[in-house]
Each structure stands twice: as C-alpha cells, then as structure tokens.
Amino acid sequence: MALALDGIKIMNMCWIGPGAFCTEMLSDLGADVIRISDVDPGKHSALPMMVFEAYPGLRNCRTLGVNLKTEEGREVFGDLAKSADVMMEGFRPGVSKRLGIDYDTIKEINPRIVYASLSGYGQDGPYRDIVGHELNYMAISGLLDLTGPKGGTPAIPGAVVADWSGGLSAGVGILAALIARDRTGKGQFLDVSITDAITEVTSMQTNPYLYKRGIVPKRGDTIWNGMYPWYNVYETKDKKHITVATLEPKFFANLCRILSCEEFVPHQFDEGEKRDEMFRFFGDKFKTKTRDEWVELLMYADTCFAPVLGIDEVEFDPQLIARQMILESDHPTAGRLKQIGSMHKLSDSPVKVRNWVTGFGQHTEEILREIGYTDNHISELRDVGAVG
C-alpha cells in the first residue's frame, strides 16, 4: 500500500527543533527525508549529537554527511538537489547564501524545488537577524503574557509550543507549494517564521481585542486561561489534579447535578460573589476524592472532564494506546522501543515505521549511488573530506 507522500524527496538541513518536527511528520506520511549534516556534526555543535545520545528514535528518514565548505561537497549537494522536491533549512537569514545553497542558487539547478527557510523571526523585518528561541517567540506573540496565574508572573508552558507551531506551519506550506507546483510546474520559496506561526495560534485571544479595541486580555481573565470555575484545574484528595471544561450550559448542568450543586446552574456566567462562591465550592469538593475516583465518576458523564496525567502516565492512557499515539516497534540497536506516534490518520495510506536512523552519515553511500555516483567516486569524495 503506497503512502501518501511516496515519491517526494526532501533534503533536510534541520536536525532538531521545528524543522526536524516538520520533516518527521512528512516522512511518516511517506516522503523520503534525507537528513543532511556536516561530515562531523559533533565538531561544530553539541546539539545534533543530543539527538542520538538522548534518544535513538529517529524513524522513517535517511542521513547524508556533506562538507559544504569544500567545492566537492557543494557539488554533491547540487547533484542531490537536481532530483529533490523539497529542501528545508533552519539557518539564520543569510547563512545559506554564504554556504552557496540558497534558493536562488538551488532553483537554477532545479526550478521545481520547494525551498523552505525556517527561522525565528522570518527573512525580513527589524528582528530578522536577532537570535532567539521558543520562549522569546512566545513572548513576542503575546502568548506568554496570557499564561500563568492571575496576578502572577508569566509562566513557561510545559511543552514546546512556538517551535512546533513553526514546524506545522512549514509542513502545511510545503504541501501547499507542492500542490501549486502540480498546476504551474514551478517550485517556490517559503519564508517560515516561528514567531508568525505562534502569533497566529494566539489569534483566538488577540483578534477580539483587535476587532473591538476593548479590554486587553490578561492572565486568569479569559475563558481559556482561568476566568471561570467551570473551565479550570483543581487539586484532588491525593494531591493530583483534574480538569473541567464545561463551556456548554448542558455540560455545566450535568457537572452541577453530579456534584450536588444544582443551584449554580443559572449562574454559570455570573461575576462577583457568585463566581467566587463557585470557585470555593469546586476547590473544596474536588479535594474530597482522589483523582482516579473523580475519573470513575465524571469521565463518561458528559462533563468535559479529564485527569491531569504525568508524562510517566501518558504511555498507559487507553485512548492514546488505541489511537496508536504510543508507538511500539523493534529498533535495530535499542530493542523494543516506545515513542510518540503520528497524529495523522489516513484511511488508505496509514503511517508506518519503515526504517530507523542510528548514526550520522548512515546512508551516504546508498544515497550517492542512487544519484549516479560510483564506488570509486564516493571513495575519492571521502578521501578529500567532502562526504562522511
């Protein structure tokens, strides 16, 4: 059974972060993702080495070592680009041009290529050359200011939100550009900004303010970040936590009925003393049972309820297991390996593990042979340090 992106070749210069997340999704969907690194990546940066030292689970891709500081290495890169559909890089703006692998150079070799440049702030604007990371991009977008307790300090979210939003943005853009290429026959350049992506993700909070020029949303003062007692997090008897999110009145009524506080039903959206009273009641009530006791009572009772799971509990959640979000398969060096599965569920092109990566440059010879290099030529390239 063919996978959805069978036949699509992606050259990926991003080993970590949003670019890696993006291309992992595309490789799960069937694309031939070639992760390209320096012939000795550990010499220049400790970050790529963490991919293998911390976790062996790189799936559904291949690796190629190329030294772009040599003329021969750049020639190899160009030869590979001739048959590629997509190239993704995550350098600071201007770096790819200095390396001789920028879009203007590559499109002369392959006018059909979709070239995605992923950066923190984008390829233009006053922040173009400013360095940054996840936390900085969330700060600029307004998301960080909305996260945390009312009256408290902005809190760092517990997951990578901005970077992965950037990866999703890049993935959608790449697929859109490939569809456009089917019509026009031409590739194009994608300027992907992580800050742009997380700003759009935050639009549900920002747009109402922009439309109305009303009150600026603050921590703890909107439906989505703690304003109401029926959309909140509560501690339980065993010091664990649960969530209720009964936005619709019918679900709020169900919750109140089960908690024996039906007098609150007409007051769901009240302010002032009645809301404070509900906060106190829910806070005290949920401390009378353990988290799992509340799961038993509320999970299947149409109350928009869910327990707060620790990372060490996620792998045992029956829903995640049923949806194959906890993926277990055989790894060539790590044995039976668990990792997070794919969010994509296609009826006729299901995601599957096709191969594993266990080291840098693992597939260099295989890839070079595919584009016409002989064994003697590959040996010569190794001798001059052009490939690894």
Q: Is 388 in contact with 43 (CB distance < 8 Å)?
A: no
Q: Which DSSP string do the residues of 127-180 spell out, in sequence order?
A: TTT----HHHHHHHHTTGGGSSSTTS-----SS--HHHHHHHHHHHHHHHHHHH
Nearest C-alpha neighbor of 269 from the set 305, 226, 212, 229: 229
User: Backbone dihedral region of 95: left (phi > 0), alpha (psi from -120 to 50 degrees) or beta?
Assistant: alpha
* Same fold? 9-200+346-383, 223-235+241-307: no
Domain ranges, ordered by start, for the chain: 9-200+346-383, 223-235+241-307
pLDDT (tens digit, 9 = 90+) per residue, 270-304? 999 999 999 999 999 999 999 999 999 999 999 99
Q: Is 60 in contact with 27 (CB distance < 8 Å)?
A: yes
CA atoms within 13 A on the CB side of 92: 8
Q: What are phi and psi of 91, to 5 degrees?
A: -75, 165
Query: What's this model's pTM, rounded to 2 decimal places?
Result: 0.93
Quick one: tokens of 64? 């190629």
Quick one: tokens of 196? 């742009």
pLDDT (tens digit, 9 = 90+) per residue, 104-158? 999 999 999 999 999 999 999 999 999 999 999 999 999 999 999 998 999 999 9
Q: What are phi and psi of 17, to 5 degrees?
A: 75, -155
Q: Where do we find the tokens 């940054």?
A: 132
End-to-end CA distance of the chain: 34
Q: Is 245 in contact with 304 (CB distance < 8 Å)?
A: yes
Q: What is the pLDDT of residue 334?
A: 85
Q: Which fold has domain 9-200+346-383?
A: Rossmann fold (3.40.50)
Q: What is the pLDDT of residue 282?
A: 98
Q: What percent of the chain has pLDDT over 90?
A: 86
Q: Which fold has domain 223-235+241-307?
A: formyl-coa transferase, domain 3 (3.30.1540)
